[in-house]
């Protein structure tokens, strides 16, 4: 096997200098269209690929984007953030970036829990997906390298978020139109901005419809948003014997499934006795019994969008903070009686 072609080989074959080839490679400066095409042709012919480390050394840019997930989020059974990562990785290829995925604990503890790329200075930007301790955000902010959050927010930090307000709006509209007036909310981890936004909009929509939200209909004290939390939260709501809701809006699908599990155990029929709606459009909802009505979230696209934003941030070096919101749509399934009778 002959040696890997270098920029030198390309330049020689093109009868040009290294710098011209470099300019073409980086789409910088002015190169005549003719030369450019010639160089591009030879690059293809030689199957030349610039060596990341050489490039990194010369340009002081690593060509890597760090992607941080809390270990909790990463190993949770529903691949929610995993799908976001997938979208990022795919998009990164297009921009010739590598993604360095790493997981961390909720908050900073021992120094060996710190992603190596942070002190190696081996990333040009960092994306964090999901809720994470403030200590991490502060720590990374100090590094003075572009930072972007997905499905989380922090002051003065750019983020890509779900349009939770619109989602909750769709859910509530659908339920209200179906004639429901006693609508419950099953939530947990209420400090999480996504959960909070859904909850707030749930209340607003009730009020807008002239309905006073009843404390008894809601249960938002759970620490997390897992299936078990949904189960427990629903149990609490059903500990009251009167004025029970005829529909339940769960903060996410996992809780919705847990909710339905409790109802099933108690012999309460979904959707006949109570309609249930989730959020996130996770695969498990499709296999639930009955299949769970939910709000679809474009996970891959959020990840892709994040990378595109990050690439801009790296190039621009401007410090404009942007908060982007990605659209959602209602996915009707049996758990809420579809057209609601």
Partner DNA sequence: GTGAAAGCGCTAACAA
Partner DNA sequence: TTGTTAGCGCTTTCAC
Q: Which residues bind a second copy (CB under 8 A)?
A: 1, 4, 47, 49-57, 62, 71, 74-79, 82-83, 86, 89, 93, 96, 98-103, 112, 116-117, 119-122, 144, 227-228, 282-284, 287
What strands lie across the sheet with 98-104, from one edge to the other?
98-104, 64-70, 125-129, 147-150, 158-162, 323-326
* DSSP symbol at 216: G
Q: Which does 74 bind (CB under 5 to 8 A by kind): a second copy, DNA, none?
A: a second copy
Contacts of residue 221, defined as CB under 8 A and 6 or more positions apart, other chains included, come to 188, 190, 233, 236
Find the binder of DNA among 8, 109, 177, 266 (CB under 7 A): 8
Q: Which residues ranging from 15 to 34 are in contact with DNA (CB under 7 A)?
A: 15-20, 22-23, 25-26, 28-32, 34
Q: Which does 98 bind (CB under 5 to 8 A by kind): a second copy, DNA, none?
A: a second copy
Task: Take residue 45 and report the two structure tokens written for it.
Answer: 């012919």
Q: Quick check: 35 binds DNA (CB under 7 A)?
A: yes
Contacts of residue 274, defined as CB under 8 A and 6 or more positions apart, other chains included, come to 244, 245, 246, 247, 248, 263, 268
Phi, psi of 251 (to 5 degrees): -60, -25
Q: Which does 116 bind (CB under 5 to 8 A by kind): DNA, a second copy, none?
A: a second copy
Q: Which stretch binds DNA (CB under 7 A): 54-62, 92-100, 144-152, 309-317?
A: 54-62
Task: Take residue 252 and report the two structure tokens written for it.
Answer: 């996410």
Distance of CA 70 to the CA centre of its chain: 13
In order of 21, 22, 274, the CA distances from 29 in angstroms are 11, 10, 65
Q: Which does 139 bind (CB under 5 to 8 A by kind): DNA, a second copy, none?
A: none
Q: Quick check: 6 binds DNA (CB under 7 A)?
A: yes
Distance of CA 205 to the CA centre of its chain: 25
State in angstroms the smallest separation of the CB of 248 from DNA: 56
State in angstroms the smallest separation of the CB of 206 from a second copy: 32
Interacting residues toward DNA by CB under 7 A: 3-4, 6-8, 15-20, 22-23, 25-26, 28-32, 34-36, 48, 50-51, 54-55, 57-60
């Amino acid at each position: 096997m002959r040696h890997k072609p270098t920029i030198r080989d390309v330049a020689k074959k093109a009868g040009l200098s290294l710098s011209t080839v470099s300019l073409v490679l980086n789409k910088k400066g002015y190169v005549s269209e003719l030369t450019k095409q010639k160089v591009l042709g030879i690059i293809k012919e030689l199957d030349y690929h610039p060596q990341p480390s050489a490039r990194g050394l010369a340009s002081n840019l690593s060509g890597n984007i760090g992607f941080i997930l809390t270990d909790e989020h990463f190993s949770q059974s529903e691949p929610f953030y995993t799908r976001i990562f997938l979208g990022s990785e795919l998009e990164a290829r297009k921009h010739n970036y590598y993604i360095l995925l790493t997981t961390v604990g909720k908050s900073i503890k021992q120094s060996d829990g710190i992603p190596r790329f942070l002190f190696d200075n081996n990333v040009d930007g960092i994306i964090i997906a999901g809720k994470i301790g403030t200590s991490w955000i502060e720590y990374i902010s100090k590094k003075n390298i572009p930072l972007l959050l997905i499905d989380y927010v922090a002051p003065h930090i750019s983020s890509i978020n779900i349009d939770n307000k619109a989602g909750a709006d769709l859910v509530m509209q659908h339920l209200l139109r179906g004639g429901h007036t006693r609508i419950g909310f099953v939530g947990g981890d209420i400090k999480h901005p996504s959960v909070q936004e859904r909850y707030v909009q749930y209340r607003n929509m009730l009020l807008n419809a002239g309905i006073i939200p009843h404390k008894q209909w809601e249960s938002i004290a759970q620490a997390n948003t897992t299936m078990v939390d949904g189960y427990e939260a629903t149990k609490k709501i059903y500990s009251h014997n009167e004025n029970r809701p005829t529909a339940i809006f769960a903060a996410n699908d996992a809780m919705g499934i847990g909710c339905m599990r409790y109802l099933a155990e108690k012999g309460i029929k979904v959707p006949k006795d109570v309609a249930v709606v989730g959020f996130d459009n996770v695969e498990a909802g499709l296999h639930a019994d009955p299949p769970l009505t939910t709000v679809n979230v474009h996970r891959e696209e959020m990840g892709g969008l994040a990378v595109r934003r990050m690439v801009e941030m790296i190039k621009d070096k401007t410090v404009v903070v942007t908060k982007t919101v990605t659209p959602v749509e209602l996915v009707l399934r049996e758990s809420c009686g579809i057209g609601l009778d």
